Amino acid sequence: MDANAVSLLAIFERKMRLEIPLFQRQYVWSREQQWEPLWEDISRKFVEGIEGRQDAPVHFLGAMVLDQKQTPVTHVEKRQVIDGQQRLTTFQIFLAAFRDFCRENDCIDLAKECEGFTENKGMLADPSVDRFKVWPTLVDRTQFADVLMSGSKAELERRHPVVWRKYARKPEPRPRMVQAYLFFYEQLSDFFLGTAEEPPIGADFPLSARLLECFQALKNSLRVVTIDLQEGDDAQVIFETLNARGEPLLPADLLRNYIFLRASRAGHDQETLYGTYWKQFDDEFWRVEVKQGRLIRPRSDLFMQHFLASQIEEDIPVKHLFVEYRNWIERRRPFNNIEEELQTLARHGENFRRILEPKVGDPVCRLAMFLEAFDIRTAYPLLLLLLDSSLLMTEWDQITDVLESYLLRRAICGNNTKNYNRIFLQLTKNLRRNGVSAASLIQQLAQQTGDSAAWPNDAVFREAWMGNPAYDMGNAKLVHILGRLNSSYSNGWQEPLVFQQQPSIEHIMPQKWIENWPLADGTKGMEFLEAHNAPDGDPRAASTEYRDRMVQTFGNLTLLMQGLNSSQSNLGWDEKRPAMMAHSLLPMNQDLNSVHHWDEDAIRARGADLFSRATAIWPDPLTYSSRIRDAQVAE
């Protein structure tokens, strides 16, 4: 390779197109992380130029790696940008803003000179493309062309107006490159024209003179190190070892670069491959950060992590994702060619999006919504296998019922989830080898033992159901459980109710019951400290503690489509019951209308009734096996 320190503008002075490979990530620089620090670097040089400092040191903006590409004699010379595309793109946007600011303030000659650094002039074989000094990746080309070619801030704002969505608190964000242009234009305006609080630096000099001095500072004081690759240099290795300014490459970015560099070397049409298979992954959807366990990662990283785990049936830490993927490709050679690899990724990517954005009617919807409510994402490798297995709807229903029973029973019994990674990867491995079926799934889950893996039987399930503090499970889990129970009152256990609005969890006997709910003997309950300090065997303290436990169990919890306010919620039963009926027509609450006294016995009786419904909805393995055999006989 050949490395040289050059003026940043010298890169743009030649008649040359710096092309961002299709496989590189889209433009991601942002105001706080990159634009503001870059403007600080530029404005410092502007100040030194206006003040006439001859001893001012040059400022290096980092390194750029360029790869020479063969071009016909009649075409503009082309270089491929291996690293530094974010910086090059941003500086082109800045130059466009500087050019338009000069034009707006009647510095026409300087504006024309700026054009020489943003546009290739003269004879061009393909003017629509060759005119640009930098040509970004496919997804960014339209907004980049608008920024460079609009010619003024007003025209760019006309092309990309502020858009407000109905009921939104703030407008939709403009495209990122448009935002960058508007940021730099605003900074230039404040710097050269001043603000209400502060006059511009060098205000005694004409604006045209200050602009010219600053443009000279851009030419002379801002430098980069350009690394030109020679034949035999491994662009991928060099790319992986360099860091862009402040915006680290995601594992998914590294994987994309790895795949498309291999495609380039193999002589594939990268643009066709990108447009057909990869373009979907450059959607903003994949950059949204989501929580998984203790980590917060972009969806693209999580997809690649779960996809690879599903394929190699091993747990993959996200920080090792790129290395593990490369080893999988190079050692196991799972695909016949790169197009097959991209086809597989695209297919699984669409399936992963179905998991994250479940839609009613999609076979995976019920299972995906359950896993989201119960915060179980370690099952995603298994779901990717299921979605790739062409299952019938009846098979989906059976598998969903089995997994839901296993996981929900464990959650209610308070079992931990730390072993779920291993369990789901083992299920993925066994089902892939033995065939995907609910019967096989039941058999494998029924064989699990110990607190970290066992499927709780009815006796264990009942003890937890009747006595554990269900309210501690959290709102999402409880809404799912109570919603399924509610469905059993109206249409049997098969179909879960889909709520049009999020219901609220209501304690039938309120958590703050002491004022309006006397104990069974008519006495008033104790506050926490009073009960805690009472002598052993104190009957009122024992009754208070027992009631506090019962209040949090399933027998005392229900759903309301509109929550009661605190004053209504804490009323005695005779007054609270009609208030509850007025706020909910759900079938599970209608039975409460005929209950004239609500106490611990009523809570236990309702808890037992709900438990019998729960075992019908979420049965044990033997019951499921019997159901599936009956269904097969019926068919």
DSSP string, 312-325: HTS---GGGHHHHH
Q: Is the pLDDT of residue 496 over 60?
A: no
d(CA 531, CA 224): 73
Q: Which amino acid is at 252?
A: A
Q: Is the pLDDT of residue 271 over 80?
A: yes
Residue 96 included in any domain = yes
Helix or strand (DSSP H, E) at 164? none
d(CA 582, CA 593): 11
Residue 137 included in any domain = yes
- DSSP assignment of 483-528 equals HHHHHHHHS-SSS----SS--EEEESS-SS-TTT---TTSPPPPPH
Q: Of 229-233, 395-399, 471-475, which gets the smallest average pLDDT?
A: 229-233
d(CA 436, CA 387): 11
pLDDT value at position 144? 96
Q: What is the mean pLDDT of residues 408-431?
A: 95
Residue 13 included in any domain = yes
Do 329 and 377 fall within a single domain?
no
pLDDT value at position 292? 80
Q: Which amino acid is at 150?
A: S
Do 229 and 89 fall within a single domain?
yes
Indicate the pLDDT class of residue 556, thresholds 50, 70 and 90. Answer: very high
Phi, psi dihedrals of residue 79, rounded to the nearest 5°: -125, 140
Indicate the pLDDT class of residue 626, thresholds 50, 70 and 90. Answer: confident
**Residues 6+ away with beta carbon under 8 Å from 12:** 92, 95, 117, 118, 133
Q: 245, 280, 301 — which closes off a domain?
A: 245
Indicate the pLDDT class of residue 1, thresholds 50, 70 and 90. Answer: low
Report the chain's terminal Cα–Cα distance, integer Å: 69
Indicate the pLDDT class of residue 94, thresholds 50, 70 and 90. Answer: very high
* Nearest Cα residue to 548 out of 516, 525, 522: 525
Indicate the pLDDT class of residue 635, thresholds 50, 70 and 90. Answer: low
d(CA 106, CA 618): 76
Q: What is the mean pLDDT of residues 81-88?
A: 89
CA 17-177-249 angle, to 5 degrees, is: 80
Of 257-261, 477-481, 587-591, highest mean pLDDT:
477-481
What mean pLDDT value characterizes the chain?
Answer: 88
Q: What is the mean pLDDT of residues 180-199?
A: 93
Q: Is the pLDDT of residue 166 over 50?
A: yes
pLDDT value at position 152? 95
Are residues 89 and 177 in contact, defined by beta-carbon separation less than 8 angstroms?
yes
Look at phi and psi of residue 375 and say left if phi exceeds 0, alpha if psi is from -120 to 50, else beta: left
Q: Is the pLDDT of residue 222 over 80?
A: yes
Residue 399 included in any domain = yes
Q: What is the mean pLDDT of residues 503-512?
A: 92
d(CA 427, CA 538): 52
d(CA 147, CA 275): 23
In percent, how much of the chain has pLDDT > 90?
56
pLDDT value at position 490? 74
Domain count, the chain: 4
Q: What is the mean pLDDT of residues 278-298?
A: 86
pLDDT value at position 343? 97
Q: 332, 357, 382 — which closes off a domain?
A: 357
d(CA 191, CA 182): 14
Do 163 and 14 fall within a single domain?
yes
Q: What is the mean pLDDT of residues 451-457?
A: 93
Do 390 and 349 fall within a single domain?
no
Do 118 and 65 fall within a single domain?
yes
pLDDT value at position 236? 59
Q: Is the pLDDT of residue 244 over 80?
A: no
Give the residues across from 624 on adjacent strands.
none
More confident residue, 616 or 579: 616
d(CA 55, CA 137): 39
Do 54 and 177 fall within a single domain?
yes
More confident residue, 552 or 224: 552
Indicate the pLDDT class of residue 499, thresholds 50, 70 and 90. Answer: low
Question: Tokens 């269904």 belong to which residue?
Answer: 631
pLDDT value at position 135? 93
Residue 628 included in any domain = no
Q: Which two tokens stand for residue 222?
A: 């801002």
Do 257 and 241 fall within a single domain?
no
Full domain range(s) for residue 90: 2-245
d(CA 350, CA 281): 10
Give the residues across from 228 on adjacent strands.
2, 66
pLDDT value at position 237? 60
pLDDT value at position 243? 45
Residue 537 included in any domain = yes
Q: What is the mean pLDDT of residues 75-86?
A: 87
Q: Which amino acid is at 481?
A: I
Indicate the pLDDT class of residue 497, thresholds 50, 70 and 90. Answer: low
d(CA 159, CA 178): 10
Are residues 483 and 499 in contact, defined by beta-carbon separation less than 8 angstroms?
yes
Do 204 and 108 fall within a single domain?
yes
Do 177 and 321 fall within a single domain?
no
Q: Is the pLDDT of residue 612 over 80?
A: yes
Q: 357, 388, 411 — which closes off a domain?
A: 357
Are residues 21 and 138 in contact, defined by beta-carbon separation less than 8 angstroms?
no
Q: What is the mean pLDDT of residues 81-99?
A: 93
* Nearest Cα residue to 413 out of 454, 367, 366: 454
pLDDT value at position 498? 60
Do 413 and 540 fall within a single domain?
no
Q: Is the pLDDT of residue 197 over 50?
A: yes
Are residues 141 and 19 in contact, defined by beta-carbon separation less than 8 angstroms?
no
**Residues 6+ away with beta carbon under 8 Å from 451:** 415, 416
Q: Which two tokens stand for residue 247?
A: 């915006």
pLDDT value at position 631? 63
Angle, helices 380-387 vs 365-373, to 10°: value is 180
Of 39-53, 108-122, 316-330, highest mean pLDDT:
108-122
Q: Which amino acid is at 330?
A: E
More confident residue, 631 or 68: 68
Q: Is the pLDDT of residue 245 over 70?
A: no
pLDDT value at position 208? 94
Neighbouring CB atoms inside 10 A of 322's CB total 21
CA 431-436-437 angle, to 5 degrees, is: 120
pLDDT digits (tens, 9 = 90+) for 29-42: 999 999 999 998 89
Question: Tokens 């054009």 belong to which residue?
Answer: 115
Q: What is the mean pLDDT of residues 409-420?
A: 94
CA 76-82-88 angle, to 5 degrees, is: 70
d(CA 381, CA 404): 16
Q: Is the pLDDT of residue 125 over 60?
A: yes
Indicate the pLDDT class of residue 156, thresholds 50, 70 and 90. Answer: very high
Q: Of 168-177, 182-191, 415-424, 475-484, which gets the smallest average pLDDT?
A: 168-177
Residue 145 included in any domain = yes
Q: What is the mean pLDDT of residues 558-577?
A: 85
Residue 625 included in any domain = no
Do 39 and 154 fall within a single domain?
yes
> Hey, CA dihedral for 562, 564, 565, 566, is it positive or negative?
negative
More confident residue, 310 or 266: 310
Q: Is the pLDDT of residue 185 over 50?
A: yes
Do 471 and 580 fall within a single domain?
yes
Neighbouring CB atoms inside 10 A of 68's CB total 13
